[in-house]
Amino acid sequence: MKKFIFISVIILFLVIIFQSNLDHSESKLLQKKTGYSRVLAISPALEEIALDLLEPEKIVAISDSSRNSGNEIVAKKANKIKNKVSEKPSTEEIINLKPDVILIPVVFTRTQADVLKDCGFNVIPLDIPEGYEAIKKRIMYIAKNLGVENKGAIVTQQMENKIQSVRSRLKKIDKPKIVIGYSVNGAFGRKHGSFDNICKEANAVNGAGLLNLQRGEHLSKEQIIKLDPDVIICSVSSKDNNMIKEILEDPALQQIKAVKSKAVLVAEDRYMSSSTQYFVDAVDHISKLVYPEYL
């Protein structure tokens, strides 16, 4: 009987040790899977997200677009990273950087993402989000895959706090203004695109969206006259190309509301489009331009 009890104790002891080692192995595997130290984000938008979720030393390389960003927070963090990567790097350039995980948009780079997977890299393919809620989900998805869910929760909660503040400020608006956005290429803003979603959250109507403008298309002068926008917002880059002067002095546009009231305004390029946590800053900024009476 004593011998049986002794053997049982020994077996139990061995089981505990085995289970402990198994748990330790699983823990190490999980750490290997999520504890990345060489993260590479392909595209300025994904770099913005990575810079907020991770310490700079965990990002293997950064593009000049982020180093020279008009967003001082992004630029400051980006310039702490030594290595550079092209905004649209080749597969060879990516491989040479030896990342242990790659965040990559797959709208135009699905083939490249597949090649990198075949080469043994851990690739996180990402579609472009359309709308505020989709952006939050994208950030949380990235955070989960990088093993920093707590940080993702903080970032998305900060977004929610800011958007609720904007909504509260604009809740008395009963007739949204029609807005048209201008880039260096002309009047833009496809339906469900970034500018369209920014306008929607800013309680305004994107004029181009009303006409179902598609990706890459621009409004004609006749369409702008028909829409009769209350406000025209030009990007800084379009202003530098004398776009505002051309709009205000165009004889064909003299009778539209925006020109008659001189509501032809300027916004930094980063406020005209965003698919990152800074989307809410764009909403806040555009809402203040369109509704200065609700500051």
Per-residue pLDDT band at 118 (split at 50, 70, 90): very high
Note the pLDDT of residue 216: 87
**Domain annotation covers residue 31:** no
Domain boundary among 134, 166, 198: 166
Tally: H helices and E strands in the chain: 15, 8
Note the pLDDT of residue 1: 52
| pLDDT tens per residue across span 8-27 | 435 443 433 344 343 433 33
Q: Do residues 252 and 156 share a domain?
A: no
Q: Which residue has the higher pLDDT, 278 or 20?
A: 278
| pLDDT tens per residue across span 31-69 | 445 579 999 999 999 999 999 999 999 999 999 999 999
Note the pLDDT of residue 25: 38
Q: How large is the average pLDDT for residues 259-282?
A: 97
Distance CA 268, CA 234 (A): 8
Here the CATH number for the domain that contains residue 260 is 3.40.50.1980
Q: Do residues 263 and 183 share a domain?
A: yes
Mean pLDDT of the chain: 89
Domain boundary among 131, 166, 201: 166
**Domain annotation covers residue 218:** yes
Residue ranges with strand state E in 144-273: 178-183, 186-188, 205-206, 231-235, 264-267
Tokens in use for 254?
A: 């003299």
**Domain annotation covers residue 20:** no
Number of domains in the chain: 2
**Domain annotation covers residue 32:** no
- 8-state DSSP, 213: P
Q: Do residues 86 and 129 share a domain?
A: yes
In this model, does residue 7 exceed pLDDT 80?
Answer: no
Q: Do residues 110 and 84 share a domain?
A: yes
Per-residue pLDDT band at 241 (split at 50, 70, 90): confident
Q: Do residues 181 and 66 share a domain?
A: no
Note the pLDDT of residue 20: 37
| pLDDT tens per residue across span 122-176 | 999 999 999 999 999 999 999 999 999 999 999 999 999 999 999 999 999 999 9
Note the pLDDT of residue 31: 40
Note the pLDDT of residue 17: 36
Boundaries of domain holding 66 = 39-166
Note the pLDDT of residue 34: 54
| pLDDT tens per residue across span 244-270 | 999 999 999 999 999 999 999 999 999
**Domain annotation covers residue 190:** yes
**Domain annotation covers residue 202:** yes
**Domain annotation covers residue 181:** yes
Q: Do residues 127 and 183 share a domain?
A: no
| pLDDT tens per residue across span 181-209 | 999 999 999 999 999 999 999 999 999 99
Q: Do residues 159 and 187 share a domain?
A: no
Tokens in use for 140?
A: 């949380």
In this model, does residue 108 exceed pLDDT 80?
Answer: no
Domain boundary among 148, 166, 184: 166
Nearest to 279 by CA among 205, 209, 202: 202
Q: Do residues 61 and 178 share a domain?
A: no
The percent of residues above 70 in pLDDT, for the chain, comes to: 88
**Domain annotation covers residue 17:** no
Q: Do residues 259 and 197 share a domain?
A: yes
Q: Do residues 190 and 241 share a domain?
A: yes
Q: Do residues 183 and 249 share a domain?
A: yes
Q: Do residues 80 and 188 share a domain?
A: no
